[in-house]
Amino acid sequence: MKHLLSVTDLDAAEATALLDTADRLKQALLGREVRKLPTLRGRTVITMFYEDSTRTRVSFEIAGKWMSADTINVSARGSSVSKGESLRDTSLTLSSMGADCVVVRHPASGAAHRIAAWTDRDRAVTGIHTSVVNAGDGTHEHPTQALLDAATLRERLGGIAGRRVGIVGDVLHSRVARSNVFLLATLGAEVVLIAPPTLLPVGVEEWPCRVSAELDAELPALDAVMMLRVQAERMHGAFFPSSREYAIRYGLSPERAALLPDHAIVMHPGPMIRGMEIAPSVADAPSSAILGQVRNGVHVRMAVLYHLLAGASS
């Protein structure tokens, strides 16, 4: 693995290997007083965030630090980006400083692909190799989120193949949904997208999943339901009439959560808008895997850095 730009970079064996590594790292750290492995000592990981983020940025930083990598955070604000530097120049600058890995979050779909293309082109001249990890690009993908969701499903349901996962809400604008649909399909899960037609992308029928507009009809047969955040600005785009109607039709209320089978889990990539797409009591119930997702995020990102930087896929 050279870069992690899209979940389609991974076949089932590679994705499973990453999840297995994440499990092993989790076990290795369990109960340790000093949570520090020497694995990536001397390696430099730079996070480059052009969008606000708490969990993803911190999660990558912790993942790097727990493996003794030197992690450095760059955000668009307070950097040369605010002086008008291009994405190409910023990324080549950081790669030239010796970054072994650049973790990038950017509002433009495909930004991580472009950075990988630029650094690969530069590598031909300098010989410096920089791995690029996509930490969320526009409305395209968020591969480590899908991997941590897969880790959580595996942990809580005992497996992924054959399980039915519902993804509810703003699929159109969701990089989480895209990464999950394609990764879960690769791993043999059955995915159902549940959303009003206005929040589904054109051509979604070509994706490896089923589509439904009726949440109540789907819930009793789901092994997991993944709620997507609904961004306030969508209200102005006439995607649905009101937040009230959205909450009534697609929000996961306690009554609706009761339609799920007993073993089913509730997931959310965060940040949650309590009372909109998910009721507080549902988010905090024992069936909720939301904080487990966050915990698994660190181990999955450790596994990704490990596979990229320590050449550990073998």
Partner 1 sequence: MSLVIRNARPYGEEPVDLLVEDGVITEIGAGLAGPEGAEVLDGAGQVLLPGFVDLHTHLREPGGEESETIATGSAAAALGGYTAVFAMPNTDPVADSEVVVEHVRRRGEEVGLVDVHPVGAVTVGLEGQKMAELGTMANSRAQVRMFSDDGRCVHDPVIMRRALEYASALDVVIAQHAEDHRLTVGAQAHEGVVASRLGLTGWPATAEETIVARDCALAREAGAALHICHVSSARTIDVLRLAKEQGVRVTAEVTPHHLLLTDARLTSYDPVNKVNPPLRTAADTEAMRTALAEGLIDVVATDHAPHAAQYKDTEWAAARPGMLGLQTALSVVVHTMVEPGLLDWRGVARVMSERPAEIGNLPDHGRPIAVGEPANLTLVDPDGVWTVRGENLASKASNTPYEGMRLPATVTATILRGRITARNGEVA
Q: Which of 128, 185, 204, 213 is close enough to bind partner 1 by CB under 8 A? A: 204
Q: Which residues contact 126 (CB under 8 A, 6 or more apart)?
A: 96
For the CB of residue 200, give the shortest distance to partner 1 in the complex, in Å. Answer: 9
Residue (52 or 89) nearer to partner 1, CB = 89
Per 3-state DSSP, what percentage of the chain is helix, strand, and coil (rounded to 5)? 45, 15, 40
Does residue 178 belong to the site contacting partner 1 (CB under 8 A)?
yes
CA distance 274 to 271: 9
Of the ranges 29-37, 151-159, 197-205, 288-296, which one interacts with partner 1 (CB under 8 A)?
197-205
For the CB of residue 260, give the shortest distance to partner 1 in the complex, in Å. Answer: 29
Q: Which residues contact 265 (CB under 8 A, 6 or more apart)?
A: 152, 153, 156, 157, 223, 224, 225, 287, 288, 289
Handedness of CA 64, 65, 67, 71 (dihedral sign): positive
Residues facing 167 on adjacent strands: 193, 226
Cβ–Cβ < 8 Å for 171, 200: yes
Total residues interacting with partner 1, rule: CB under 8 A: 25
Does residue 65 belong to the site contacting partner 1 (CB under 8 A)?
no
Torsion of CA 194, 199, 202, 208, to 10 degrees: -30
Does residue 232 belong to the site contacting partner 1 (CB under 8 A)?
no
Q: Which of 33, 206, 214, 233 is close enough to bind partner 1 by CB under 8 A? A: 206
Which whole-number Å values give the CA distances from 207 to 101, 170, 180, 288, in the listed order?
A: 31, 16, 11, 27
Which whole-number Å values give the CA distances from 150 to 18, 71, 86, 155, 269, in the listed order?
A: 10, 25, 35, 8, 12
For the CB of residue 138, give the shortest distance to partner 1 in the complex, in Å. Answer: 5
Does residue 175 belong to the site contacting partner 1 (CB under 8 A)?
yes
Of the ranges 67-75, 101-109, 244-252, 290-298, which one interacts with partner 1 (CB under 8 A)?
101-109
Of the ranges 35-43, 145-153, 202-210, 216-224, which one interacts with partner 1 (CB under 8 A)?
202-210
- Write the interaction track for partner 1 spanning residues 278-307; mark x where CB under 8 A is met and - where it is not: ------------------------------
Classify 31 in phi/psi space as left (phi over 0), alpha (psi -120 to 50) or beta: left
Does residue 114 belong to the site contacting partner 1 (CB under 8 A)?
yes
Q: Which of 138, 212, 213, 221 is close enough to bind partner 1 by CB under 8 A? A: 138
Which of 287, 288, 295 minimizes the C-alpha distance to 262?
A: 287
For the CB of residue 29, give the shortest distance to partner 1 in the complex, in Å. Answer: 34
Does residue 207 belong to the site contacting partner 1 (CB under 8 A)?
yes
List residues binding partner 1 (CB under 8 A). 86-88, 106-111, 113-114, 117, 137-141, 175, 178, 201-204, 206-207
